[in-house]
A and B are shown apart, each in its own frame.
Chain A
Amino acid sequence: MEITRRHLLGSMAKGAATVFAAGGVSSVALADESRAKEKQEASQTAIAMLYDATLCVGCQSCVSACAQANNLTPDKRLDTLHQSPRDLSDTTKNVVKLYKPADGTPYSYIKQQCMHCVDPACAAACLFKALKKETGTGIVTWNPGLCVGCRYCQIVCSYHIPKFQWRGVNPRIVKCEFCKERLARGDDPACTSVCPTHAVVFGKRTSLLAEAKLRIAKSPGKYYEERVFGEREGGGTQVLYLTKASFEKLGLPKLGNEPIPAKYLKWQKRMYSYLLIPAALYAVIVSITRKSWNRHEEHLKEEEKATGLRPQL
């Protein structure tokens, strides 16, 4: 059987039509679902932290309270007497840094820990949902029984939060999990419960957002851009910031308001929804390979006749 070019093109066109049809059906069927799913909203029960840098005195109480509550080895690399981590690491889930501008403008402290994004990139990236956004509270938790240690979460986190234990045979991902054990006992998170100036406070996200906006309204001109960082950044976070210095200078990245998973994985999700497109594509490919395989077998027989040698597949 000879396959002409027209024949081949014809079957390919049919196949392409199938793929487009399947793609069309799937995108129509999933349009509502994906529109709903593509933009995650913070739930009414979501918990949050509000950190007001203008109130923070940099005492580092929250840093040691965090290490104590999470059984982390105190990081004393900079100062043998006191716990003074330079940055987040596999032994530090919460850190307070000082930003001191060279031009003499007022300095500011900044507290860093997991932002518990409303639509976290790490959870979208994670292979087996080891990093997962809890329903209700919205805490982004890590499950050692599911994590493969691929460190994709470290690649995708815009805030550089997840840290990996680079030593040992049972390495873990280390990051703030909102003191979930303390919350289960009815306590507040360690960092918010020890703050002497109430620079960081704990509560429902809705009420803390209202509180932050109230503070902005009460003191016009006090806060940077008169807005709360985390209300909408990257789809919103469950740690809210009020600062006097610019967010970028304090290490809070400029992200835009769209969450990264929704922004970048939109097409990936559509291509693979219910595997409709791959299945249609497979059907097309096999319809062509079956024909060319038949042609190949004919060819092998001819070759065997001509050479007298056993045909090679």
Chain B
Amino acid sequence: MSRAWERCVPVFDIPILTRPFVALCTLGAVACGLVLYREAAGLGAASGMNDAYAWGIWKTFNIMALTGLGSGGFSIGIATWLFGRRSLHSVMRTAVLSSFLIYASGLMLLGIDVGRPWNFLWILAPWRWNVHSPMLEVGFCMPLYTAVPLFLEATPPVLEWIHSRWPELESTAEMAESLLKRIYPWVLGLAFLLPAMHQSSLGALMLLAGNQVHPLWQTPWLPLLYVWAASFMGFAFVSVVLMVCHLVWNRSLDEDVLREMSRITAWLIATWLIFRFADLAMRGRLHLAVQISAPSALFWMEILLLLSAALMLAVASKRHNVRLAFQGSILAALGGLMYRFDPTTLAFQPRAGAFYFPTFIELLIDIGFLSLTVATFSLLAKVLPILPASTRLWRAMESARWNKSVLHPQQAEYTHYAAAD
């Protein structure tokens, strides 16, 4: 029986309202309430931020680190469209949707984090721009990427859904689709250019902090290392998302596609590691890594996570081992997160005695927004054709719908077809 991912199929055989879904939405609602408190009481009352550690986890984790995991649309897209890896086309919808949701939630947290958000309207006034500020590049490029190329890349499943559900909107959906087809190559161009710009600018943000960032991290190559890390983090995260979804919703995995992803991730990490050590050696900072100190321990944790991830993924792709690929991808995602988070907080030393730890409210808001991200993903994966599957499953879905509507209008439960695959 074919297990190949040929077509994206909604998770049609699982109800939307499950207990975990309700729990995630509740956490999201709590977070929204706490956001009102933060807006009324000020940042100091809601968060652990202070004048020395002026950035908290909303920026340092959700923007600086987590958007790396949200770079699947960027890095898998490049492999698919620029390097002709056709087999990866099947996972693009998962990549694009996860990227869109992570970026959107990060940008919302950024809106909560800034103190004078009304002045952000100056982004529409180019004569006000400080064109050389990496912060301007991020502030302009990240919302633009989310709102235009990433949004447009994510619309085809919605148009298909409208097309299949509302016969009266059929011609409108088709018109939108043909328009989208015409501009798609240009949209894709932006979808690769803009993340390359802002993901590297995230690294450039920390350049201006100068020697407050520990020399094991502070390097003129920080922008390149950041965007490179984003590329393997995107691959690793989309692998994890696919494997978790297919495990939870009981669908079959296309091992060839996963192997291809593992192989590329392993190569990206290996070259990144070599580059990082070469940079340290060239700057003459390798001796800092062999000292016994907190920063060097942190450094080796990152290196060990990524090194073991690269090895596990390489072996997994050679030996067709899905379990190992899953573990390796998780380690790669964690290692990437750590690398991108450390220069902003743990390896950022503004001055002696400075301390930051997120407050309970800050954490709850963060967890709430992440919960909403997961809930939205699961909702959309059940409604829209996002997750890849076989053509056979698509036909099973169509006949189940037909049965339900024509033969058994009262039948609520579907037969599980995926298991027969």
Contacts and interface: CB of A to CB of B under 8 A. Distances in A.
Interface of A: 3, 5, 8, 12, 89, 121, 123-130, 144-152, 154-156, 158, 160, 163-171, 255, 260-261, 263-265, 267-269, 272, 278, 281-282, 285-286, 288-290, 292-293, 296-297, 299, 303, 307, 309-310, 312-313
Contacts of B115: 147-151, 164-165, 171
B7 A169 contact: no
B44 A309 contact: no
B318 to A, nearest CB: 23
B82 A126 contact: no
A264 B55 contact: no
Contacts of B8: 312
A197 to B, nearest CB: 29
B400 to A, nearest CB: 16
Given A151-B115, A272-B132, A312-B8, 19 more contacts: A127-B129, A144-B116, A148-B115, A150-B115, A158-B210, A160-B351, A165-B115, A167-B44, A168-B42, A255-B211, A261-B132, A265-B208, A268-B201, A285-B82, A285-B189, A286-B185, A312-B157, A312-B385, A313-B177
Interface string B30-54: 0000000001111111000111101
B51 A163 contact: yes
Interface stretch (B134-142, B239-247, B370-378, B403-411): B134-142
Interface string B278-291: 00000000000000
Contacts of A269: 132
Contacts of B186: 286, 289
The 9 closest A-B pairs by CB, nearest first: A149-B115, A166-B44, A154-B54, A149-B116, A151-B54, A313-B156, A264-B207, A286-B189, A171-B115
> Among A146, A150, A165, A167, which residue has the most Cβ atoms of chain B within 10 A?
A150
A263 B204 CA distance: 12
A154 B49 CA distance: 12
A292 B84 contact: yes
Given A164-B115, A282-B190, A309 B391 contact: yes
Given A148-B120, A149-B117, A268 B139 contact: no
B122 interface: yes
29 contacts: A123-B130, A128-B130, A146-B128, A147-B116, A147-B119, A148-B114, A148-B117, A148-B139, A149-B117, A150-B135, A152-B205, A160-B51, A163-B51, A164-B43, A164-B54, A164-B115, A166-B42, A170-B116, A264-B208, A264-B210, A268-B201, A268-B207, A268-B223, A286-B186, A293-B184, A293-B185, A299-B86, A309-B7, A313-B160
B220 A267 contact: yes
A268 B394 contact: no
Contact of B84 (A8, A167, A267, A310): A8
B356 interface: no
B212 interface: yes
Contacts of B137: 272
A167 B45 contact: yes
Q: What does DSSP make chain B's interface, helix, strand, loop or mixed? A: helix
A286 B193 CA distance: 10
B185 A281 contact: no
Contact of A268 (B7, B134, B180): B134
Contact of B130 (A129, A144, A267, A285): A129
Size band of the B side of the interface?
35 or more
A155 B208 contact: yes
Contact of B42 (A144, A146, A171): A171
A150 B193 contact: no
Contact of A312 (B44, B136, B160, B197): B160
B55 A155 contact: yes
Contacts of B196: 281
B250 to A, nearest CB: 22
A278 B197 contact: yes
B208 A309 contact: no
A125 B82 contact: no
B188 interface: yes
B208 A171 contact: no
B272 interface: no
B192 interface: yes
A119 to B, nearest CB: 12
A260 B220 CA distance: 12
Contact of B156 (A12, A169, A312): A312
> Among A12, A121, A292, which residue has the most Cβ atoms of chain B within 10 A?
A292
B323 interface: no
A300 B81 CA distance: 15
Contacts of A12: 82
B81 A288 contact: yes
B181 interface: yes
B209 interface: yes
A125 to B, nearest CB: 5
Contacts of A128: 119, 122, 128-130, 136
A127 B135 contact: yes
Contacts of A289: 81-82, 185-186, 188-189, 192
A128 B157 CA distance: 38
Contacts of B193: 278, 281-282, 285
Given A151-B54, A282-B190, A293-B184, A156 B209 contact: yes
B114 A154 contact: no
B43 A171 contact: yes
Contacts of B130: 123-124, 126-129
B184 to A, nearest CB: 6
Contacts of B129: 127-128
Contact of B7 (A144, A297, A299, A312): A312
Contacts of A124: 130, 132-133, 208
